[in-house]
Amino acid sequence: MEKLKVLLVVGNLEMKRHLDKILSADPDLDVVAEANNAYTARDKIIECDPDVMLLCHDLPRMPGITFLGKLMPQRSTQTIVIAKPEFEDEAYRAGAKDFIVCGDHSEILEHENICNRLKKAAGGEWLANAKKAPVLHAAQMTRSSGSEGDTTTSIIAIGASTGGTEAIATVVRGLRRDIPGIVMVQHMPEGYTQMYAHRLDNEGEVSVKEAVSGDVVKPGQILLAPGDKQMRIVKINGRFQVECKHGPRVTGHCPSVDALFESVARVAGKEAIGVLMTGMGSDGAKGLLAMRNAGARTIGQDEKTCIVYGMPKVAYEIGAVKWQVPLEQIAQKIYYLLDKRQ
């Protein structure tokens, strides 16, 4: 297998030495070029066509994240950003695949898994064939012995409305079959959800079906709420299952994102990730807030990429959204949160 081509972009000499030492120790990696500023980095990308770029935000002349934001629309490059924690959201908005927190130059030495994260960012066979300290797939994650605060994400809940059919398809194409089980509401009338589930089932690696009561939430599968019923989550014998029942509208909708999210908050708590996407109105906002208050990690689609910035906007304004993320970055943000379990 050919080595993974890495472009290292770092402005600080001490940091460069640290990173050179880490990267040179991995036989799977080949640092094909280095740059100490954005302008040189741009030229090296054209010249060397790297598989992945390791980019420090602290650069002379132009900050690394600013450079990334200018680069991605012209030449999409898998990138890991190293920066202080306050720049995390900005890095993902600019197009970063992964983010490594670095409060000072010495802290980078603590990131012993940086080589594996580069391989994962590159995707494909590198994720499957990382030789050292393999990155666990989401479905394999378990509690860390000796750290009671760590949890495994057992369920992901997604809600959308206007503009959601195409937006959800974009996210689905970015998911692998190792993803934890997903429950989803897309506002649609009866009959259309079954056709939409069939369409999504052909979009990527994960399987998709219209949910029926008793379906078990399992890795690699999306359960889509039927168009005429409220779908909620229950836990029976330690396993998450769905209940799909006729009932009154919630927040004006059946199925309702709020109904689903509120059940996930009650039953799954911190074992969940919630994602609220494009849509008119406010459905899902209160439910997402309940999820966040219960310890779940919560994502809202950003205004720029929403067809209608209604539901995510209300959720953001009431404090339900922890991370605002562009549509194209939602799938990778989910995987980042699965790895970090934060």
Active centre residues (catalytic): 161, 187, 283
* Three state DSSP letters for the chain: CCCEEEEEECCCHHHHHHHHHHHHCCCCEEEEEEECCHHHHHHHHHHHCCCEEEEECCCCCCCHHHHHHHHCCCCCCCEEEEECHHHHHHHHHHCCCEEEECCCHHHHHHCCCHHHHHHHHHCCHHHHHCCCCCCCCHHHCCCCCCCCCCCCCCEEEEEECCCHHHHHHHHHHCCCCCCCEEEEEECCCCCHHHHHHHHHHCCCCCEEEECCCCCECCCCEEEECCCCCEEEEEEECCEEEEEEECCCCECCECCCHHHHHHHHHHHCHHHEEEEECCECCCCCHHHHHHHHHCCCEEEEECHHHCCCECHHHHHHHCCCCCEEECHHHHHHHHHHHHHHCC
Residue with tokens 């990690």: 297
d(CA 206, CA 156): 13
Bridge partners of 181, per DSSP, are 155
d(CA 2, CA 51): 11
d(CA 329, CA 339): 15
Cis peptide before 255 (omega within 30 of 0): yes
